[in-house]
Amino acid sequence: MTSTASVNWQAARSAAAKIADRWNQPGEPGGAITLFDVATLQGEACGGLANLTTKEPFAIDSVVRYASVTKHIFAALALLRSDAGISTDDTLGQYLPQLKAPMSQVTVGQALDMTGGLPDVRETLSLLGVSVYNVTDAATLIDFLATDGSLNFPAGTEISYSNTGYRLVETILKQKGILFEDLLQRHIAQPLDIAFHAPETWFDIVPNLTPGYWKSADGWKTSSAGLHLSASGSLTGSLRSLSSWLQSLLKDSGPGAGVLKHLSQPRALNDGTPTAYGLGITHSQIGRHQLLGHGGSHAGYKTYFLLHPEHKIGVALVSNREDTASYTALLEVMSALLDTPLPARSTALVNGLYASQAEPYWLNVTDGVASYLGAAENLYQGEDGSAVSLSAHLPMRLQMKGSAIEGEIGLAKRYFTPIEPNDCLHLIQGRWFHPESKAAFDIEGDKLMMGVGPLRASGTLTSVGQGRLLVSMPDGPWEKSFCLYFQGYNVQLISNRSRVLTFRRDECRISWEPTA
């Protein structure tokens, strides 16, 4: 049972209440936080609205999209409850012969532990100009993945987040006639009497679903997304239901029996370097306390949970607003609960834009936040004086080396120097196309133009030297950032989760003149 002498429930309730109170702004969405041990909800804090139309207040029974919190539940069901006979040592190609090498050679374990180098489908589509709102289905996405087989990096050489592995493993189960929703109802929802569901699209009916919201320049907007959800992030439910499931994990009995032990087993790179990401479960640390958890982010929804298996306690958060910093918020609550301060934020890295020399990678540092290939992490003071992230799926350990920055990102060694811009725009004007997908973009002056007709979007270009330009342009509720790496008549498109697309210069010139 929980050692109540070692935790401070009152301090944690106060911390949760302060976070929830920030959502209590007129006409704004909100969220909720729970604190629990194996038997009891020890506290809850709610703020903001569940529905901006009806003005219904947000509560722990408000139904939301859990997004990537789905991952550990799917991994548990697929590996422990499905009777599918899948091993983490099996390769994806054993079950999906349509995949090409090297993708086909990625193991199931690597696909689920973020070391597989699998390009993320959503981010790859975005680089092709496919909007977050465009509708796609499961079968065509698998066909899309099977057309190439390229990886972001050799499997097992670094860690980098991608949803694709979970999509592929779900496809393996489907081919065996096993559906995620059926497993979910039989092994978790019905035994615990909770309302978990796994819709496959954004447009499927989910009972009592709370809308998600994002804030544009002219106010709050209702979120939506067209991508087939997959078991990487399809789960829906309330915070109360999620807390019940997490209590089952902490009890290590009933539906949660053996799950945490199995999913949190140490994983490693090919060279033996241990990672902090298990199978849909992350390892993190506050002081001497070892925590397990995971987060989720869909357009307009944020989710996170942190568990302390030794003390058998946990905290969880759900929100229906895009701007919620869920991980940071729960770190504050868990810090109060354990009466253990978080490490101090670090500003040791000098603000600026940096680029690597040998690869088309970049790092943007702004007031203690490091954005690597467009993915940002807060930096904290490491014990060795380095600036570190507390992220398991994007670990950073960096320090200044003169005017340069060196260290590790994703457990791979990285070295960055301040950018040295060059004027290459006049050399790359015109159309660039991707033969396999028929996608294209145009460089017109200092802008990148992508899309057709009224959907044509414009991105700003920033030189980072050596034939590389950063692009920043809107993608629904987000701003997407990627690099153009020019090599003769080819250009690679590089982002945090997708580094496999190569466009070519369109040399075709068609002129038209009226006949006399």
pLDDT, one tens digit per residue, over 265-286 is 999 999 999 999 999 999 999 9
Write down the pLDDT at residue 19.
98
On whether the CB atoms of residues 311 and 6 are closer than 8 A, the answer is: yes
CA 28, CA 425: separation in Å to the nearest integer? 43
CB contact set of 479 (below 8 Å; sequence gap of 6+): 472, 473
pLDDT at site 515: 35
Return d(Cα 46, Cα 188) in angstroms, integer. Answer: 26
Residue 194 backbone class (left: φ over 0; alpha: ψ -120 to 50; beta: rest):
beta
b/e per residue, 384-394, with b = 16+ CB within 10 A? eebbbbbbbbb
pLDDT at 494: 97
pLDDT for residue 476? 86
pLDDT tier, 512 (very low <50, low <70, confident <90, very high otherwise): very low
Q: Would you give the distance in Å from CA 284 to the centre of its chain?
A: 16
Distances 112 to 97, 155, 222, 290 between C-alpha atoms, Å: 19, 12, 31, 21
Rounded CA-CA distance 107/118 in Å is 11
Helix (H, G, I), strand (E, B) or coil at 74: helix
Burial class (CB in 10 A: 0-12, 13-18, 19+), 429: exposed
State mean pLDDT over 180-186.
98
How is residue 216 written in tokens?
């544009």
Q: Is the CB of residue 61 less than 8 Å from the CB of residue 359?
A: no
Burial of 304 (C-beta count, 10 Å sphere; 0-12/13-18/19+): buried
Work out the average pLDDT over 287-309: 97
- pLDDT above 70 (res 3): no
The answer, yes or no, to whether residue 513 has pLDDT greater than 80, is no
**pLDDT tier at 5, thresholds 50, 70, 90:** low
Which residue has 């590996």 as its token pair? 79
Closest C-alpha to 72, from 393, 290, 289 = 393
315-339: pLDDT as tens digits: 999 999 999 999 999 999 999 999 9
- Compute the distance between CA of residue 118 and CA of residue 211 in angstroms, rounded to an integer: 31
User: How many angstroms separate the CA atoms of 292 and 307, rounded?
Assistant: 5
Tell me how crowded residue 70 is: count the other CB atoms within 10 A of its CB: 30
What is residue 437's DSSP assignment? T
Element (H or E) spanning 302, and its range? Answer: strand 301-308
395 prior amide bond cis, ω within 30: no
- Read off the tokens for 256: 């949660």
CATH architecture of 425-505: Beta Barrel (2.40)
Question: Can you give 332-371 as a three-state secondary structure string?
Answer: HHHHHHHCCCCCCECCCCCCEEEEECCCCCEEEEECCEEE
- The residue ranges of every structural domain in the chain are 1-82+178-341, 352-418, 425-505
Q: Does residue 509 carry a pLDDT above 60?
A: no
d(CA 59, CA 47): 8
423 pLDDT higher than 90: no
State the Cα–Cα distance between residues 369 and 337, nearest whole angstrom. Answer: 26
Quote the DSSP letter at residue 189: I
Q: What pLDDT is recorded for position 333? A: 98
Query: What CATH number should be reported for the domain whose range is 1-82+178-341?
Result: 3.40.710.10
- pLDDT per position as a tens digit, 250-263: 999 999 999 999 99
Question: Does the pLDDT value for residue 508 go beyond 70?
Answer: no
Q: Which of 390, 411, 405 is nearest to 345 (CA)?
A: 390
Spatial distance between the Cα atoms of 313 and 4, rounded to a whole number of angstroms: 10
CA angle (374, 377, 379) in 5-degree steps: 135
Q: How do residues 373-412 score in pLDDT, each as one tens digit? A: 999 999 999 988 999 999 999 999 999 999 999 999 999 9
Separation of alpha carbons 23 and 46, rounded Å: 8
pLDDT digits (tens, 9 = 90+) for 185-227: 999 999 999 999 999 999 999 999 999 999 999 999 999 999 9
pLDDT at 434 over 60: yes
- The pLDDT score that the predictor gives to residue 62 is 98
Decide if pLDDT at 516 tops 70.
Answer: no
| E-only strand ranges, 390-494 | 396-401, 404-409, 412-418, 430-434, 439-444, 447-450, 457-465, 468-475, 478-487, 490-494
Rounded distance between C-alpha atoms, residue 314 and residue 306, angstroms? 6
Average pLDDT over all residues of the chain:
95
